[in-house]
Amino acid sequence: MADFPTLDPLDRRLNIFSPNIAELSLRGKVEASQFLEGQPAQVSVSFTDLRANPDRSTGIDTQLLFGETVRVYDEQNGWLWVKNDHDSYVGWTEKEVINETIHPTTHVVCAPRTYFYPEPNLKAPHKGIRSIGSLLQIVGEDENKGTKYSILSTGEAIVTKHIRPKGKYTADYVSVAESLLGAPYLWAGATAFGLDCSGLVQLSFRMAGVDVLRDSDMQAATIGIPLKIGENYNKLQRGDLVFWRGHVGICQGDGMMIHANAHTMNVASEPLVAAIERIAYLYEKPIGFRRIDCSRI
C-alpha cells in the first residue's frame, strides 16, 4: 500500500504569509496586517538561490533561473521575499539579482548548458553562462563561419541550436533527464550546474511542457496516478516515478533508473532493483510509484 504524503494548502513553501504581510489570495484564510498582490520582477542573473530566511547562513530551498518572473512581497536588509510565478515557490533572495523591469521572453535554453558572447563569434571571450530552462528574449539572427547565432535583446549572441522557441517541447521528458547525466548533485539545486532529485524531475518535466511542483514530497502528493507494482517491479514503464520519503527517481525502462543522488554525488543511471536494495539497507524501501500521462505533449 503506497504511503504518499498529502499537500498542506498553507505550506510555507507555497504561500506568502506572516503576521504583517500575506498574499491577496489568502485573505480570509490567514491573519495578517495587510494583504498584497506583490510587485512583478524578473531574475537577472544565470540563477539565484531561494532561502527560507533572509540570511546567507540559511541553507537554500531551491533556485530560480535567468528570465523567470516572480512577485515581490517584502524587503529586508537587501533581501526580497518573493513567490515564483512558475511553480509558486516562496523564499528570500538577494535584491541585486532581481530586476523590477520585466523583459518579455521568446525562447528557452534547451542544451544542458551554454555560453553567450559579445558578438556572433565562438572564439570571443564569453559573457556568461545559462542553464537549460533559462528564458531569453531573442531579437535577431546571424551566422559566422557556418555557425548560426541568435541575438539577445541585450546585443549578445548565443548559439541557435542551444535554444528553442517557447511553447516547443521535448516529447520524452526522460530524455531531458538523460541529457543531464553527470551533472553535479546539489541539495536544492535546480539547474544543470547542480541538481537534487526533485529538481531533476521538475526541470525535465518542464522541458516537456508539464508543470510539476518543486520538492519530492509535493511531487509524491500530486504527480499523476499511483501505481500498484509487484515485488519484481516489472510493471514499471519508462517515465514512471519511484518515491521514497525525501527522494525520487525516474524509470528509464529496461530495469534502469536515473536520479540525482548523494551516493554518486551526481545525476546517475543505475539498475532500479540495485538502487532499491541499496537505499533500503540505509533507509527504507520506496513508499510508492506514480505515472503521468505525457501523451498530450
Tell me, what CATH number does 263's domain have?
A: 3.90.1720.10
Domain stops at, among 142, 165, 188: 165
Q: Which residue has the cell 515485488?
A: 231
Domain with residue 113: its CATH number is 2.30.30
In a domain, 134, yes or no: yes
In a domain, 8, yes or no: no
Long-range Cβ contacts of 151-159 (<8 Å, 24+ apart): 151/120, 152/116, 153/103, 155/118, 156/116, 156/117, 156/118, 156/119, 156/127, 157/116, 157/117, 157/118, 157/119, 157/120, 157/121, 158/114, 158/115, 158/116, 158/117, 158/130, 159/111, 159/114, 159/122
Domain with residue 38: its CATH number is 2.30.30.40
Domain check: are 88 and 112 in the same one?
no
In a domain, 91, yes or no: yes
In a domain, 37, yes or no: yes
- Count of domains in the chain? 3
Domain check: are 95 and 121 in the same one?
no
Domain check: are 197 and 272 in the same one?
yes
pLDDT digit string, tens, across residues 166-196? 999 999 999 999 999 999 999 999 999 999 9
In a domain, 141, yes or no: yes
pLDDT digit string, tens, across residues 15-44? 999 999 999 999 999 999 999 999 999 999
Whether this model's pTM surpasses 0.75: yes
Domain check: are 211 and 282 in the same one?
yes
In a domain, 63, yes or no: yes
**Per-residue model confidence (pLDDT) at position 293:** 78
What residue ranges of the chain have pLDDT lower than 50?
1, 296-297
Domain check: are 202 and 157 in the same one?
no
**Per-residue model confidence (pLDDT) at position 295:** 57
In a domain, 14, yes or no: no
Domain check: are 220 and 270 in the same one?
yes
Domain check: are 178 and 76 in the same one?
no
Domain check: are 247 and 287 in the same one?
yes
**Per-residue model confidence (pLDDT) at position 297:** 43
Which H helix or E strand runs over 219?
helix 216-222
Of 265, 64, 128, nearest in space to 183 by CA: 265
- What's the domain range around 158? 108-165
In a domain, 248, yes or no: yes
Domain check: are 261 and 197 in the same one?
yes
